Amino acid sequence: MELRHLRYFVAVADERHFGRASELLHVTQSTLSAQVQALEREVGGRLFSRTSRRVELTEAGELLLPEARRVLAQADRALQVARESVHGETGTVRIGFAGVAVLQGVLSDDLRDFSQAHPRVGLALTELPPAAQIQAVRDGALDLGYCPDLGLGDTDGLRVTRRAPTPLSVALRTDHKLASASAVTTSALSAHELIVFASSEEDETVLSRLWPAAEEDRSRVRLVGSTLGALALALAGTGVALVPTATERIALPGLTYRPLRGAPPGPDLLVLGRHDETSGAVRAYLGGVRAP
């Protein structure tokens, strides 16, 4: 049994006339009759009682009609669901992110724009360090990642879009002697404990990209696993924290921020995806991600 057989059968049943049904379906009357007869052969009996003036359903036809309508409605629904998926109108986009993506407003702007254009697509967010995001996108556990370019390593096979630079600042207690300066230079930091957010895969890359002097005396560098952890240690007076400038949106009593001078520009914020993405929703999301 083919769906078109059922569609032709329902059309004749609704119109009670082969001629009108053939016009409605844009097929010849002979084609319509042949398809209905093919269905009757498969059923093993007549579905219509034909006279010169009218077409009536047989008992078998009356029983088949509501079932045929349900089958056709379900087929149409299945096709619609598939089309919506292909065009990115349904599904879920799983996104990993580093905190700086939120603080800079990049992630929230992208989420808002996508949600407005695709309101029926779900969004699932997971905070992860950059190296973990790469692996999760590769493995299919995540669809996208938002992370700073901190020596990410092998990104072959991934689609990488640079969204925005991540300038750096220094976070320190308000009573710290460097807090009176309008900006803090890297040379001024040489006599102080330095608190840096970095994972084990990233630490050497972060420090070497900022300034070689920090590499020469690693004993005064403390690596922490989160930006909030870095701020807590800075507020405790154990050192000064190197943080993305956007972190200044986190206002903590007793803590202040100063621009960092004399260091290379901070890392770019990246959006990671897959070149061979098959999800319509994820492709639609990536289509809205543009480099500045």
Which class in CATH covers the domain with range 92-165+268-287?
alpha beta
280 membership: H or E segment, kind and range: helix 280-287
Indicate where the chain has its CATH 3.40.190.10 domain(s): 92-165+268-287, 168-261
Which pLDDT tens digits describe the chain residue by residue (292 residues)? 788 888 888 888 888 888 888 888 898 988 888 989 898 898 888 999 887 678 888 889 888 889 888 988 888 887 877 776 777 677 899 999 988 899 999 999 999 999 999 998 999 999 988 888 988 998 899 999 998 887 666 677 789 999 888 888 999 999 999 999 999 988 888 788 888 876 554 445 555 555 555 555 667 788 887 788 899 999 999 999 988 899 999 999 999 999 988 777 778 899 999 988 888 899 999 988 877 6
Cα(123)–Cα(107) distance, rounded to whole angstroms?
12
Q: Is the pTM of this model over 0.85?
A: no
Domain 3-86 sits in CATH 1.10.10.10: yes
Look-up of token digits 């699932």: 124
- SS3 assignment, position 157: coil
Domain ranges in the chain with CATH number 1.10.10.10: 3-86
Q: Closest Cα to residue 243, out of 169, 191, 154, 148? A: 169
Structure tokens at 120: 């029926």
CATH ID of 168-261, from 3.40.50.2300, 3.40.1010.20, 3.30.70.60, 3.40.190.10: 3.40.190.10
CB 141 within 8 A of CB 230: no
